[in-house]
């Protein structure tokens, strides 16, 4: 049976539950201009705005009370260039760092009072295992692994030796991956993070750089593959353009001093913002260590080279 028509302007009575939810117009629209609608939702629930966990200085997330947590970091390739700059920056932040490189005297020069030197080559399996194990023992665990060691043996493809190709793959790809594997239990316990050093050569190859480029392409792929598999351990990489380091200024196949200077200047002109400095990359490493909600990302840092 059809319902009886209501007189014009008549509104049916509201159910009790809906009446209870009504507020005066000024309350219903009271949105804090600084905090937005979330403040209104908190107001309706009778609570204040949500609290966020405070990040402890020098380390990963604390317990919420803001107490300092000292970050423990193993850095490879730390005797010069990007690795050394990362070591200085993180030590200034209060981190405890273990430094790896081939040149023990250079490591001692880089190391501050809180740093531990763990010299050794990374192309020998027993040596790289020892480096990880000694760092874990000295630091009492591991919150981050920064893999900046690199080796380049640039040469035209037609004269590239098998030994040079294998050496570049071993140092630039195999060693970083197996060091992550070795350190994984400690990284999982700390819900830590990994930062690989890739290269923009993956996106913009140059003649004579095949071995190095292929190895770095593998690291980029590994970054994406491991991000999902190892979560909540975060895995990211940085793909720098040309950074002014001793590696860049080392003579390549058949080069003399004048050739090196000409090549470096030509590289500088390719970058709209000029060559990078190790400090530029170190700042990006710190960003990736600090950023909680980022994994599987290859961060391009190239002064506009690939723009």
Q: Which residues are catalytic?
A: 212
Asked if the bond preceding 232 is cis, omega within 30° of 0, the reply is yes
Q: Using CA atoms of 80, 76, 284, 217 in order, give the dihedral in degrees to the nearest 10.
A: 110
**Which of 285, 307, 69 lies closest to 191 in space, CA to CA?**
69
**142 within 8 A of 183, measured Cβ to Cβ:** yes
- Nearest CA to 219 out of 299, 163, 280, 142 is that of 299
Three-state DSSP at 239 gives: strand
Largest CA distance in the chain: 101
Q: CB of 87 within 8 A of CB of 71? A: no
Q: What is the rounded distance in angstroms from the CA atom of residue 13 to the CA atom of residue 8? A: 15
């Amino acid at each position: 049976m059809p319902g009886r028509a209501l007189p014009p302007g008549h509104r049916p009575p509201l159910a009790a539950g809906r009446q209870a939810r009504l507020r005066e117009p000024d309350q219903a629209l009271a949105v804090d201009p600084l905090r937005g609608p979330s403040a209104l939702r908190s107001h309706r629930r009778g609570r204040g705005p949500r609290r966020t966990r405070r990040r402890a200085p020098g380390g990963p997330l604390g317990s919420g009370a803001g107490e300092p947590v000292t970050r423990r970091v193993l850095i490879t390739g730390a005797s010069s260039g990007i690795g050394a700059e990362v070591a200085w920056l993180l030590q200034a932040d209060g981190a405890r760092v273990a430094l790896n490189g081939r040149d023990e005297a250079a490591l001692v020069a880089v190391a501050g009072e809180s740093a531990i030197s763990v010299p050794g080559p990374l192309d020998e399996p027993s040596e790289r295992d020892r480096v990880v194990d000694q760092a874990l023992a000295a630091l009492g665990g591991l919150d981050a692994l920064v893999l900046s060691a690199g080796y380049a043996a640039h040469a035209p493809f037609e004269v590239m030796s098998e030994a040079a190709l294998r050496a570049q793959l071993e140092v630039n790809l195999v060693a970083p991956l197996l060091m992550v594997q070795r350190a994984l239990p400690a990284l999982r316990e700390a819900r830590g993070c990994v930062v690989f050093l890739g290269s923009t050569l993956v996106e913009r190859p140059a003649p004579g750089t095949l071995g190095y480029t292929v190895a770095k392409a593998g690291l980029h792929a590994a970054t994406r593959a491991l991000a999902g598999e190892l979560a909540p351990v975060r895995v990211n990489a940085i793909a720098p353009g040309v950074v002014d380091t001793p590696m860049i200024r080392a003579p390549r196949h058949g080069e003399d001093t004048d050739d090196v200077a000409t090549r470096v200047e030509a590289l500088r002109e390719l970058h709209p913002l000029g060559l990078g400095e190790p400090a530029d990359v170190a700042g990006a490493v710190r960003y990736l260590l600090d950023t909680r909600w980022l994994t599987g990302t290859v961060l391009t840092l190239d002064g506009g080279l690939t723009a």
